[in-house]
Amino acid sequence: SLLLFVVVFIITADLVKNRRPVGFPPGPRALPIVGNIFTWDQSRPHEKLMELARTYGDVFSLRFGQKWSVVLNGFDTIKEALLTKGDSMVDRPKLALQEEVTGGLGIIISNGDIWKQQRRFALSTLKYFGFGKTSLEHVILDEFRHCAEEFRGYKGKKPVNPHLIINNAVSNIICHLVFGHRFEYGDEKFRKLMLLFDKALQIEASIWAQLYNSFPLLMRLLPGPHQTLKQIWGDVKSFIREELNQHKENWDSTERRDYIDCYLQEIQTNKGQEGNTFDEENLIMCVLDLFVAGSETTSTTLRWSFLYMAKYPEIQENVQAEIDRVIGQSKQPSMEDRANLPYTDAVIHEILRMGNIAPLALPHSTNKEVQLGGYTIPKGILIVPNLASVLFDKKEWETPLEFNPGHFLNEEGKFEKRAAFIPFSAGKRLCLGENLARVELFLFFTSFMQHFTFSMPAGVEAVMDYRAGITLAPKPYEICVKPR
Q: Which residues are annotated as a binding site for heme?
A: 431
If binding is defined by CB under 6 A, does position 79 make contact with ligand HEM? no
**260-299 footprint of ligand HEM as x/- string (CB under 6 A):** -----------------------------xx--xx--xx-
Q: Does the footprint of ligand HEM cover residue 33 (CB under 6 A)?
A: no
Going by the annotation, the residues of the binding site are 431
* Site stretch for ligand HEM (CB under 6 A), options 205-213, 215-223, 339-347, 433-441: 433-441
Q: Determine contact, residues 40/210, Cβ cutoff 8 Å.
A: yes
Distance of closest approach, residue 79 Cβ to ligand HEM, in angstroms: 13
Q: Which stretch binds ligand HEM (CB under 6 A): 25-33, 391-399, 428-436, 474-482?
A: 428-436
Closest approach of ligand HEM to the CB of residue 107, in Å: 5
Tell me the closest approach of the beta carbon of residue 138 to ligand HEM, in angstroms: 17
Pairwise CA distance, residues 449 & 327, whole Å: 11
Order of strands, sheet of 59-64, starting from the edge strand that comes earlier in the sequence:
59-64, 67-72, 382-385, 364-365
Please select the residue that binds ligand HEM; options are 425, 446, 447, 455, rule is CB under 6 A.
425
**Min CB(343)–ligand HEM separation in Å:** 20
With CA atoms as reference, report the closest residue to 349 among 398, 301, 299, 294.
301
Stretch that binds ligand HEM, among 34-42, 94-102, 305-313, 420-428 (CB under 6 A): 420-428
Task: Report the residue number, 333 or 433, with the smaller CB distance to ligand HEM.
Answer: 433
Burial of 18 (0-12, 13-18, 19+ CB in 10 A): middle
Long-range contacts of residues 333-341, Cβ cutoff 8 Å, at least 24 apart: 333/141, 333/442, 333/443, 333/446, 333/447, 333/450, 334/137, 334/443, 335/137, 335/439, 335/442, 335/443, 337/446, 338/442, 341/446
Residues numbered 341 to 360 that lie near ligand HEM (CB under 6 A) are 357-358
Q: Containing H/E element for 14?
A: helix 2-17
* Residues in a beta bridge with 68: 63
Contact call for residue 433 and ligand HEM (CB under 6 A): yes
Q: Tell me the H-state helices in 271-377.
A: 280-294, 296-311, 313-326, 342-355
* 107 forms part of the interface with ligand HEM (CB under 6 A): yes
Q: How many residues form the binding site for ligand HEM (CB under 6 A)?
A: 23
Please state, in angstroms and rounded to a whole number, the distance separating the CA atoms of residues 177 and 28. Answer: 46
232 to 101, 175, 191, 238: CA distances (angstroms): 10, 19, 14, 10
Give the nearest distance from C-beta 46 to ligand HEM in angstroms: 12
Q: Which of 193, 209, 409, 432 is the binder for ligand HEM (CB under 6 A)?
A: 432
Q: Which stretches of the chain bind ligand HEM, using CB under 6 A?
A: 107-108, 119, 289-290, 293-294, 297-298, 301, 357-358, 361-362, 423-425, 429, 431-433, 436-437
